[in-house]
Every structure is written in C-alpha cells, then in structure tokens.
Amino acid sequence: MSSEHAKAVSIIGAPLDLGQTRRGVDMGPSAIRYAGLEERLAEIGYAVTERGNVAAPEPEALTVRDARARYLPEILDACAALAALVEGAVREGARPLVLGGDHAIALGTLAGLAAAAGQPGGVIWIDAHGDLNTPETSPSGNVHGMPLAAALGRAPEWFRHDGLALPAVTPSRVALVGIRSLDPAERAYLRDADIRVFTMSDIDRIGIERAVREALDHVAGPGFVHASLDLDSLDPEVAPGVGTPVRGGLTYREAHLACELIAESELLGSLEVVEANPILDRENTTALTAVELVASALGKTIL
Ligand SMILES: NC(=[NH2+])NCCC[C@H](N)C(=O)O
Ligand SMILES: [Mn+2]
Ligand SMILES: [Mn+2]
C-alpha cells in the first residue's frame, strides 16, 4: 500500500445518465454500493467515508438545446458539483473513489483533482473507447464520448465552466488501455498526440502486464495520477451491464491483473468506475465485478 496516499477512501456517487441515451446508468452508484463496496474496502483496511451522491437532473425534465452535445450545460453543472466534492476529499487526505454514472462525469473528477493539485495530472483510461470526441467531431452527440478531450482542454469554448479547472490533464500523460472502438476523428487525433494507446490487438500481442506497466510509466508525474475505469473495457460476456458494449474486451483475469498492477505501482491517488447500468445487467454481475476490480486496484491481493 502506498505511503504517499492515506489509507482513507471517500466514496462519491455521480448518478448522471445525460451523457448518453440509455436510462439506467444513473442507478450505477446504487448497484455498486449494493454489491458490497464499503464492506470490501473495510476488509482490506481502508477507512471509508461515504459522501453520498451529487445532484444530477433527469433527462425527462430537460430539453436538448444542441444536438452536437446533448445536455452539455446540465452535464457541466453536475461535473462542477462533483469536482468540488473530489477536491474536498483530496484536501482531507482521502482518495476519491467516484462511482458513475456515464463516463461524462470523468470531466468533473479530473477537474476536481486538478483543482486540488493546483496543476494538471496524468490518467490511465481503461476503456473500449477513446472518449476523445469534441462536439464538432462526435458522431452521436453523446457527451460520454467526449470527457477525455474536454479534460485535455480541447474545444474549450464548449466546456468552459466556472467550477471546472481546465485543462485538467497533461496531454503527454494519458494512456488508453483496452481500446477497440474509435471514431475517425479520434483516430486522426491519436496519430499526432503524445498519448500511449494499448489497443486490444496490442494487449493480445504484448500481454496485459507489459501494457499496463508501460501505461503507468507514461502517466506518472506531478500533480496527480488517476485511473478511470469504464466497465465496457471488459468483454461484454464478463460485464454485460453497459450501454455501449463492444466484443473482444478484457477478460476477467486481464482486468484483475491490470488493477493489481495499478495497486502495486503505488502511483494512484484516485479511481473512478463508470458505465455500470443495472437495467442492462444480469443479476448485478457487472457491479459485483466492479467492486472486485476496485478492491484489486486499491491493494487487495490473493495471498
Ligand atoms: N464512455 C463511453 N462508453 N463512450 C462511448 C462513446 C462512443 C462513441 N465514440 C461516441 O462518441 O458516441
Ligand atoms: Mn467505453
Ligand atoms: Mn468511456
């Protein structure tokens, strides 16, 4: 366990589903809590503080003002509220553990971490997708496909908000792991960016251990190191309860090893787990897997 980071965790729920079009991911925080998160972290010696949920409006009560980035003003407000809680947790010496919600909330988490650190940091982004679209390039208008671009400070005219410290992430300190679905503009951006990308094809060739070790080397540095775990990085047979499943994902064991390596590196100051949708799930299996992975990433070992 890291000496640099206290053995205290603050759980923060972000039940936002405005970043995509399927209802149910707003119940992700409840599903993950119900799967035994707090008990599991207590078992491995953490002092756990439960911060409850940030407020997130229901889509039925809202109108879409711009189809290029649906519900963006409301998403930015929710992200700013989340950023304040994340910043507060860090200032109290705890590791923020953020439960989504769709991946749009990562913008709030990262902005909160950057505000607490007073500078941008690094992120290991474990996902089937790049989430590097901007409102101008998105094929869907779903903001959950944009949070990494926003955190990097791209398209600032769209994402500017008083409560969000941007850019929150240093472009040369991003690593993507588990990638198998990119849109044309994301692919074009990654050709020139100094981002380490480990696609599923790379992972098949070099193995998850080398991929994650190299990813961690790439994101290490000042400010903060954060892990953003999109559950659709896992194969849909392992994690069926996600809104944008893509075949050919991480196995259960690869995902565990990735999380164990993250813990062993002692680099991690914060973690988030997103996209768990209990409506699409089978008997909460995706949330149960999420709890196991969080425990591994925070230092649970077999022996
Ligand atoms: N966090 C996610 N699951 N993102 C999926 C994004 C899918 C697609 N790239 C889009 O922009 O709409
Ligand atoms: Mn994804
Ligand atoms: Mn994602």
Is-catalytic flag, 77?
A: no
In the annotation, is 186 catalytic?
no
Q: Which two three-digit tokens encode residue 127?
A: 């996902």
- What number is the ipTM of this complex? 0.97
Q: Any binding-site annotation on 26?
A: no
Say what the pLDDT of residue 6 is.
57
Look at the domain 8-297 and name its fold: Arginase; Chain A (3.40.800)
Other Cβ atoms less than 10 A from the Cβ of 215: the count is 26
Residue nearest to atom 8 of ligand 1 (CA): 145
Tens digit of each residue's pLDDT (9 = 90 or more) over 28-40: 999 999 999 999 9
- For a mutational test of ligand 1's pocket, the pick from 18, 105, 140, i.e. the residue with the most ligand atoms closer than 8 A to its C-beta, is 140
Token digits for 33?
Answer: 């809590």
Is 256 part of the annotated catalytic residue set?
no
Whether 232 sits among the annotated catalytic residues: the reply is yes
CA of 303 from ligand 3 middle (Å) equals 32
Domain boundaries, the chain: 8-297
Q: Regarding predicted confidence, which is higher, 176 or 1?
A: 176
Cis peptide before 269 (omega within 30 of 0): no
Q: Is the CB of 300 under 6 A from ligand 1?
A: no
The pLDDT, as a whole number, for residue 4 is 43
With a CB cutoff of 8 Å and minimum separation 6, the contacts of 88 are none
127 labelled ligand-binding: yes
